[in-house]
Amino acid sequence: MPQQAKSPVIVLVRPQLGENIGKVARAMLNFGLTELRMVEPRDGWPNPSAGPAAAGADIVLDQAQIFGSTAEAVADCTTIFATTVRKRGDSKPVVTPEQAAGQIIAESGRSAILFGREASGLDTQDVAMARAILTVPINPEFGSLNLAQAVILCAYEWSKTQSLKQPTLEEVLPAAEQAELDGLIGHLEAMLEPKGYFLPPSRSDATRRTLRNVLTRPGWNHLEVRTLRGVLSSLSRRDRT
């Protein structure tokens, strides 16, 4: 996947579990990010547990860079965000993932988002390098996000600034042609007619219009119309003995 010119770098500072690194890679690639940097991963790199957890996001893992310090990992970046809960006395501005995405777009240089180790988050020295603290409103009685969840919140907000396609939109079939819909309505009317559904005659036209409105409203695609006609055909056949 080609990297967007201003896409932020995701920096994992002293990550602990290979599975979590893999899940981060998966979250990144889902939302168009591919540049992963890691500072002193606890279990070394490469980690055999990362690949299966990445579920196919191998490009992120294969290109991941390893650094000996956070300063080295962000040396080429001009805008750095530290994901952490704001601590009392900290004078850094606090932004949401959405606000951070806007600032990243506005900057001409490289941007990085720092994520700390699973057990304890970022050290004070790591946070000190950041321009701003990046955080989200969260339940004060249970503020426990795992690493991949934290990354996906930021990656999603970044993706909203890009031209990523909604996958489900490509899977939606076009609406059925009018002739197909008319065939379904005619099929149903032919089954209802001998049952007296359109009686009395004085209400027949109104009943037919109502039936047509009901069947037209959903915007069936051609496979759905075909399925419904199959259902009607099955109902019109004699029961199997």
Q: Which helix (H) or strand (E) holds 140?
A: none
Q: Which residues share a beta bridge with 65?
A: 37
Q: Which CATH class is domain 9-164?
A: alpha beta
3-state secondary structure at position 111: strand
The predicted pLDDT at position 82 comes to 96
**Token digits of residue 93:** 């501005």
CA distance 34 to 52: 17
Distance from first CA to last CA of the chain, Å, rounded?
58
Per-residue tokens: 106: 């506005």
Q: How confident is the model at residue 90, as a pLDDT? A: 67
Task: Please give the pLDDT value at position 1.
Answer: 39
The full set of domain ranges for the chain reads: 9-164, 173-236
- Which CATH code for domain 173-236? 1.10.8
Strands 110-115 and 94-95: unpaired
pLDDT of residue 83: 94
Question: What does the pLDDT read at residue 87?
Answer: 62
Task: Specify the pLDDT at position 172.
Answer: 64
Q: Which residues of 187-216 are buried (b: 16+ CB within 10 A; e: fewer)?
A: bbeeeeeeeeebeeeeeeeeeeeebeeebe
Write the DSSP symbol of residue 11.
E
Residue ranges of the chain with pLDDT lower than 70? 1-5, 86-90, 164-172, 240-241
Q: Comparing 9-164 with 173-236, is the CATH topology the same?
A: no
